[in-house]
Amino acid sequence: MFLDRDEKTEPKFIEADEKGQLYVLGFFRGAEGVISDGFVSRFGDEGLQDIRTVSEVDLDFYTNFKHLELCGFTDMAKEWSGFKYENVDMTGMENMKYPLSELWRRLEK
């Protein structure tokens, strides 16, 4: 099965590290259909593996950053970024890296 929790699992971003290991950032929906927990995990033959809970702050930051990264850090993307509403200075952000693999390692159990 691709995802362990099907309709309650919302993957947002997937990326590979330098060794080709895939990492997924996303969230789980609770019974009411609202976000209950953010997560970062490895992705392998059996779907999501080694799932680690992500704080709301980290989930918001990484989601906003990865969206900007996918959009190429354009002025238009910055104009519509969630960072703008959180008063985050985006100057030079295109020179920064926030790999999902590092987030996953930081949250190691």
pLDDT at 5 over 70: no
* pTM, rounded to two decimals: 0.87
In a domain, 80, yes or no: yes
Average pLDDT of the segment spanning 29-43: 90
At CA 79, angle to CA 90 and CA 15, rounded to 5?
65
Asked whether residue 1 is assigned to any structural domain, the reply reads no
What is the total count of domains within the chain? 1
Which of 4-8, 14-18, 43-47 is the most confident on average?
A: 14-18
Q: Is 74 among the domain residues? A: yes
pLDDT of residue 108: 82
Residues 43-60 pLDDT 10s: 998 889 999 999 999 999
Q: Which domain holds residue 50?
A: 6-106
Sign for the CA dihedral angle at 7, 38, 23, 100 comes to: positive
DSSP alpha helix (H) spans, the chain: 56-70, 75-79, 82-85, 100-106
Residue 81 lies in a domain: yes
